[in-house]
């Protein structure tokens, strides 16, 4: 007993000593001269943080391809070479924060591109804000990425617009009066999209009960008959199923096997070769919205991008590659306009981006730093994604 | 005062001096890694209590960390920030207006995690061995899936953003107060576990690990002690989770997959099951190693930049540890002053013998 009391006492004393030391050294911390003058250095560094390994490596790799192509085509600004510093975030939030801090502190980048996956971009948010380094996300669609953060921008449209586009499609083209939603609940993107779709759909139909069923599934689920039954029993005219391409393809396949022939529509994640492979014949006629099409060049820049991409990588570009390309161009243009490599000045120029001609459409950034741009609707026909229409943003 | 107490005091003082030096000399990148080290020390030491000392292979740590992280975040975020985060579905009534200071929120986060530990442990700890591992793994995932689906409490898969870091350490406001909180929490965790292991409870834990039947025959209440170890372990996991949330500033359910549990288990196994000092050493070295090896990804000595190379090298290093130290770096021994002294004395003694 004595021993324990003494231990406690010692602990207390240590604690007191410790707080004294802390108090002593807390006040006199000097502000060290930070950041060497980047203007004099010979190269301009732009940091890229993307998932290059683990779960989301495929997405990250596509985005990096687009960014590298842009760097090949436009390697210079202000007479200096632009160097890309690529950091892997291992598809992990903690690593994403580490990677961005490293880019900012050690590599002294003037701007950052990334990342595929909104949650990684969100982890980088407070760091870029604190260090006043502008960041441009290529394909992160979660509204929280740019919300309340003056230093985060993106070149893709966000989920509210995409939800609106699909709701309009369902209402006008399919003529649906009732819709069911099957969403991947563990995916922030799908949850947001489902919400914005239903808001708009209710507004269009004027009927608060027009969403007749709203069911969830988890990432990596294989069996969807319960969800499909629930959705089909409500007798909707259309099923909106935002989610990962594998699960979505399985849903459509299982729906058709069960004899449910209600049209099923979705979002940009469906645009992946796996969607066609897994879905096979069942996904014929599936309609979704996306950022970009390689069939019809949207702008002059798209033509150049498409030609060069095919030449360099020998395959059709995905939309995230085009968005990565655009993110790089937006930053480069901002550096040029700012006439300096001061990150704060670059940030101000990025914020002013208006009618910028990118590969994936014309970009205007709104006050939140989100891009206002057109969406593309595609349909699966004969085992291919076929361009249907371009939807312009309405103010 | 016993020799042991003096040595531990010296060690604590050395740590604090090092932290002061770190605070004044390191850039924010290195400080972030330092904080991460402290957090992983808390995770590893607390997981070692149930896995290493009590011998129960429980794999639900990520779930308890999630409980801690979410409880803390929902308490410390200010109402305006919550409104911005919960733009799809509003936060439910009492939570949307609460705004707690750091320390009470941290402690409540630990308590909530401990409660979750009790709720999971009470049924699961009736199982043994592999079955326990499977059941706790399942419970850990269940916690995560509940968080994904309760959108009006946790914001579901959208996650939370803008979780504030503490701006004060106790009453002193300073720039890196989070570092002090993290490391003081880590030191307290370590001291607590050392004292616990040396107490009668700790001996009971070890007895259960060695032989459950014999322990029971000696009059140790098996279930009570197992649940106790689980609750304490999850309490500290919750504290660590809260600190992790304030370090990163944003959380979402996907962070707390079983992969996190395995990362911590890896640290525990490399350090040695049943060795607190082993857990500390391996938590710090693995965290630092992962960042040092990042240089490999960006091209190294003429090699082209190849993302993922560091993971290959990391795996090789881990393999060599497992091959040469099958019981982990420290086995189930502790690093003690005597041993260090002996290590230093050995060459001297040998010389004397030779003479």
In a domain, A191, yes or no: yes
Q: CB neighbours of A289 closer than 8 A, spacing ≥ 6?
A: A162, A165, A166, A169, A267, A268, A375, A376, A377, A378, A391
Characterize B296-330 residue by residue with b for buried, 16 or more Cβ atoms within 10 angstroms of its Cβ, and e for exposed: bbbeeeeeeeebebbbeeeeeeeeebeeeeeebbb
* Cα gap B152→B148, rounded to integer Å: 10
CA proximity to A197, closest of A323, A270, A288: A288
Q: pLDDT, tens digit, for every residue of A232-256?
A: 999 999 999 998 888 899 999 999 9
Q: CB neighbours of B92 closer than 8 A, spacing ≥ 6?
A: B152, B153
Q: Clarify whether residues A255 and A387 are in a common domain.
A: yes
The answer to whether residues B79 and B131 touch, using CB atoms and an 8 Å cutoff, is no
Judged against a pLDDT cut of 90, whether residue B54 lies above it is answered with: yes
Strand partners, B160: B251
In a domain, A104, yes or no: yes
- Mean pLDDT of the residues in chain A: 85
Q: Clarify whether residues A85 and A188 are in a common domain.
A: no
Number of compact structural domains in chain A: 2
List the single residue in A with minimal CA-CA distance to B19: A22
The answer to whether residues A309 and A67 touch, using CB atoms and an 8 Å cutoff, is no
Q: CB neighbours of A319 closer than 8 A, spacing ≥ 6?
A: A139, A268, A271, A290, A291, A292, A360
Residue A223's domain is classified under what CATH number? 3.40.50.2300
Q: Which of A98, A151, A193 to mutate to test the interface with B (most CBs of B within 10 A)?
A: A98
- What's the pLDDT at A37? 45
Of the given ranges (A263-267, B166-170, B251-255), which has the lowest mean pLDDT? B166-170
- What's the pLDDT at A22? 44
Strand residues in B85-128 grouped as ranges (E): none
* Cα gap B208→B226, rounded to integer Å: 8
Q: Clarify whether residues A152 and A169 are in a common domain.
A: no
Q: Clarify whether residues A138 and A94 are in a common domain.
A: yes
In a domain, A234, yes or no: yes
User: CB distance A94–B248 less than 8 Å?
Assistant: yes
List the single residue in B with minimal CA-CA distance to A14: B9
Q: Clarify whether residues A210 and A345 are in a common domain.
A: no
pLDDT band at A35 (very low <50, low <70, confident <90, very high): very low
- What's the pLDDT at B74? 94
- Higher per-residue confidence, A20 vs A93: A93
In a domain, A340, yes or no: yes
| A158 Cα to chain B: minimum distance (Å) | 14
Q: CB neighbours of B86 closer than 8 A, spacing ≥ 6?
A: B96, B152, B155
Alpha carbon A222 to chain centroid, angstroms: 25
* Cα gap B233→B44, rounded to integer Å: 10
Q: pLDDT, tens digit, for every residue of B88-141?
A: 888 888 888 899 999 999 999 999 999 999 999 999 999 988 999 999 999 999
Judged against a pLDDT cut of 50, whether residue A20 lies above it is answered with: no
Give just the sign of the alpha carbon dihedral B135, B137, B139, B145: negative
Q: Which of A83, A95, A101 to mutate to test the interface with B (most CBs of B within 10 A)?
A: A101
pLDDT band at B28 (very low <50, low <70, confident <90, very high): confident
- Chain A residues with beta carbon closer than 8 angstroms to that of B173: 26
- Chain A residues with beta carbon closer than 8 angstroms to that of B264: none
pLDDT band at B203 (very low <50, low <70, confident <90, very high): very high
Judged against a pLDDT cut of 60, whether residue A26 lies above it is answered with: no
Q: What angle do CA A51, A56, A60 make, to 5 degrees?
A: 45
CA end-to-end span of chain A, whole Å?
75
| B348 Cα to chain A: minimum distance (Å) | 34
Judged against a pLDDT cut of 70, whether residue A27 lies above it is answered with: no
Coil, helix or strand at residue B172: strand
Q: Which of A16, A25, A26 to mutate to test the interface with B (most CBs of B within 10 A)?
A: A26
* Cα gap A7→A11, rounded to integer Å: 6
* Cα gap B62→B139, rounded to integer Å: 10
Q: What Å distances lie between residue A227 and A184, A249, A251, A255, A308, CA to CA?
A: 11, 14, 9, 10, 44
In a domain, A384, yes or no: yes
Its domain, for residue A240, covers 160-290+378-391
Among the partner residues B24, B173, B291, nearest to A98 by beta-carbon distance: B291
- Chain B residues with beta carbon closer than 8 angstroms to that of A107: none
- What's the pLDDT at A32? 37
The sheet with strand A375-381 has its strands ordered as: A211-217, A179-184, A238-240, A264-266, A287-290, A375-381, A384-391
In a domain, A21, yes or no: no
| B34 Cα to chain A: minimum distance (Å) | 11
Of the given ranges (A141-145, A226-230, B12-16, B66-70), which has the lowest mean pLDDT? A141-145
Q: Clarify whether residues A51 and A102 are in a common domain.
A: yes
Q: What Å distances lie between residue A357 and A301, A329, A337, A388, CA to CA?
A: 7, 9, 15, 22
Judged against a pLDDT cut of 70, whether residue A395 lies above it is answered with: no
In a domain, A25, yes or no: no
Q: pLDDT, tens digit, for every residue of A53-80?
A: 877 888 888 899 999 999 999 999 998 9
pLDDT band at B20 (very low <50, low <70, confident <90, very high): confident
- What's the pLDDT at B353? 61
* Cα gap B70→B241, rounded to integer Å: 8
What is the pairing mode between strands A238-240 and A264-266? parallel
Q: Clarify whether residues A193 and A302 are in a common domain.
A: no
| B88 Cα to chain A: minimum distance (Å) | 7
* Cα gap B275→A47, rounded to integer Å: 41
Which residue is it, tokens 């580490």?
Answer: A98
Region B143-158 average pLDDT: 91
Judged against a pLDDT cut of 50, whether residue B190 lies above it is answered with: yes
Q: Clarify whether residues A165 and A304 are in a common domain.
A: no
CA proximity to A82, closest of A359, A356, A329: A329
User: CB distance B298–A87 less than 8 Å?
Assistant: yes
- What's the pLDDT at A39? 46
Q: Clarify whether residues A183 and A217 are in a common domain.
A: yes
Domain spans, chain B: 3-263
B266 CB neighbour count, 10 Å cutoff: 14
Of the given ranges (A348-352, B76-80, B343-347), which has the lowest mean pLDDT? B343-347
Q: Token pair of A116, please?
A: 């595929």
- What's the pLDDT at A90? 85
Region B160-179 average pLDDT: 82
Which residue is it, tokens 């602990």?
Answer: A11
| A64 Cα to chain B: minimum distance (Å) | 12
Judged against a pLDDT cut of 60, whether residue A33 lies above it is answered with: no
Q: pLDDT, tens digit, for every residue of A169-207?
A: 999 988 999 999 999 888 888 888 898 999 999 999 998
List the single residue in B with minimal CA-CA distance to A124: B248
Region A6-16 average pLDDT: 52
A119 in reach of chain B (CB within 8 A) = yes
| A97 Cα to chain B: minimum distance (Å) | 7
User: CB distance B159–A23 less than 8 Å?
Assistant: no
A84 CB neighbour count, 10 Å cutoff: 18
Q: Clarify whether residues A302 and A267 are in a common domain.
A: no
- What's the pLDDT at B245? 95
- Percentage of residues of chain A with pLDDT beyond 70: 89
Judged against a pLDDT cut of 70, whether residue B215 lies above it is answered with: yes
Q: Clarify whether residues A137 and A194 are in a common domain.
A: no
The answer to whether residues B112 and B95 touch, using CB atoms and an 8 Å cutoff, is no
* Cα gap A145→A148, rounded to integer Å: 8
Q: What share of chain B is helix, strand, coil (3-state, %, to 5)?
A: 75, 0, 25
Coil, helix or strand at residue B321: helix
The answer to whether residues A188 and B157 touch, using CB atoms and an 8 Å cutoff, is yes
Q: Clarify whether residues A183 and A301 are in a common domain.
A: no
User: CB distance A53–B311 less than 8 Å?
Assistant: yes
Judged against a pLDDT cut of 70, whether residue A131 lies above it is answered with: yes
pLDDT band at A317 (very low <50, low <70, confident <90, very high): confident
Region A141-162 average pLDDT: 87
The answer to whether residues A124 and A86 touch, using CB atoms and an 8 Å cutoff, is no
B-proximal residues of A, 218-277, CB under 8 Å = 218
pLDDT band at B349 (very low <50, low <70, confident <90, very high): low
- What's the pLDDT at B300? 60
In a domain, A95, yes or no: yes
A388 CB neighbour count, 10 Å cutoff: 17
User: CB distance B28–A122 less than 8 Å?
Assistant: no
Judged against a pLDDT cut of 90, whether residue A100 lies above it is answered with: yes
Region B179-206 average pLDDT: 94
């Amino acid at each position: 007993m004595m021993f324990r009391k003494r231990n406690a006492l010692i602990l207390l004393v240590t604690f007191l000593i410790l707080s004294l030391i802390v108090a002593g050294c807390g006040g006199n911390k000097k502000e060290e001269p930070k950041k060497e003058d980047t203007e004099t250095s010979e190269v301009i560094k732009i940091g890229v943080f993307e998932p290059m390994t683990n779960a989301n490596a495929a997405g990250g790799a596509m985005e990096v391809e687009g960014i590298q192509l842009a760097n090949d085509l436009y390697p210079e600004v202000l007479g200096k070479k632009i160097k890309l510093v690529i950091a892997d975030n291992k598809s992990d939030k903690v690593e994403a924060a580490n990677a961005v801090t490293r880019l900012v502190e050690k590599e002294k980048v003037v701007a950052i591109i990334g990342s595929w996956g909104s949650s990684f971009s969100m982890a980088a948010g407070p760091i870029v804000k604190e260090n006043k380094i502008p960041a441009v996300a290529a394909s992160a669609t979660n509204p929280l990425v740019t919300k309340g953060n003056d230093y985060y921008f993106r070149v893709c449209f966000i989920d509210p617009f995409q939800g609106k586009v699909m709701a309009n499609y369902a209402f006008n083209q399919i003529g649906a009066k009732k819709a069911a939603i099957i969403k991947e609940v563990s995916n922030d993107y799908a949850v947001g999209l489902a919400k914005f779709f239903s808001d708009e759909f209710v507004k269009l139909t004027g009927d608060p009960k027009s969403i007749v069923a709203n069911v969830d599934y988890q990432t990596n689920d294989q069996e969807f008959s319960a969800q499909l039954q629930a959705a089909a029993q409500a007798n909707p005219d259309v099923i909106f199923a935002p989610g990962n391409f594998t699960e979505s393809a399985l849903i459509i396949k299982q729906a058709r096997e069960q004899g449910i022939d209600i049209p099923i529509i979705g979002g940009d994640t469906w645009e992946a070769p796996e969607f066609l492979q897994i879905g096979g014949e069942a996904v014929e006629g599936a309609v979704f919205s996306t950022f970009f099409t390689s069939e019809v060049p949207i702008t002059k820049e798209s033509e150049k991008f498409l030609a060069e991409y095919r030449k360099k990588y020998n395959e059709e570009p995905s939309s995230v590659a085009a968005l990565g390309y655009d993110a790089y161009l937006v930053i480069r243009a901002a550096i040029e306009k700012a006439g300096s490599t001061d990150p704060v000045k670059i940030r101000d120029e990025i914020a002013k981006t208006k009618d910028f001609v990118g590969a994936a459409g014309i970009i205007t950034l709104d006050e939140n730093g989100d891009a206002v741009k057109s969406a593309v609707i595609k349909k699966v026909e004969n085992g291919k994604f076929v361009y249907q229409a371009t939807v312009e943003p309405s103010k | 005062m016993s020799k042991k107490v003096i040595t531990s005091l010296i060690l604590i003082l050395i740590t604090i001096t090092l932290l002061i030096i770190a605070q004044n000399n390191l850039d924010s990148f290195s400080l972030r890694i330092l904080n991460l080290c402290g957090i992983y020390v808390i995770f590893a030491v607390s997981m070692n209590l149930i896995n290493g000392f009590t011998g129960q292979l429980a794999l639900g740590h990520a779930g308890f960390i999630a409980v801690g992280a979410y409880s803390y975040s929902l308490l410390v975020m200010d109402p305006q920030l919550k409104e911005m985060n919960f733009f799809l579905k509003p936060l439910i009534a009492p939570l949307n207006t609460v705004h707690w200071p750091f320390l009470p929120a941290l402690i409540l986060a630990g308590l909530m995690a401990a409660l979750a530990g009790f709720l999971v442990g009470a049924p699961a700890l009736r199982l043994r061995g592999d079955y326990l591992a499977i059941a706790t793994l399942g419970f850990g995932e269940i916690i995560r899936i509940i968080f994904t689906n309760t959108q009006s409490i946790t914001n579901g898969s959208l996650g939370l953003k803008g979780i504030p870091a503490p701006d004060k350490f106790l009453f002193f406001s300073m720039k890196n107060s989070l570092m002090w909180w993290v490391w003081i929490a880590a030191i307290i965790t370590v001291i607590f576990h050392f004292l616990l292991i040396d107490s009668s409870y700790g001996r009971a834990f070890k007895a259960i690990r060695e032989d459950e039947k014999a322990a029971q025959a000696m009059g140790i209440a098996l279930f009570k002690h197992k649940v106790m170890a689980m609750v304490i372990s999850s309490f500290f996991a919750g504290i660590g989770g809260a600190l992790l949330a304030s370090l990163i500033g944003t959380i979402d359910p996907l962070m707390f997959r079983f992969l996190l549990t395995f990362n911590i288990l890896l640290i525990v196994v490399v350090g040695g099951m049943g060795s607190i000092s082993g857990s500390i050493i391996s938590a710090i070295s693995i965290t630092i190693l992962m960042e040092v090896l990042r240089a490999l990804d960006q091209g190294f000595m003429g090699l082209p930049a190849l993302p993922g190379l560091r993971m290959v090298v990391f795996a090789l290093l881990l393999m060599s540890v497992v091959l040469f130290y099958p019981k982990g770096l420290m086995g189930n021994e502790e690093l003690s002053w005597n041993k260090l002294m002996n290590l230093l004395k050995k060459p001297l003694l040998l010389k004397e013998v030779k003479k």
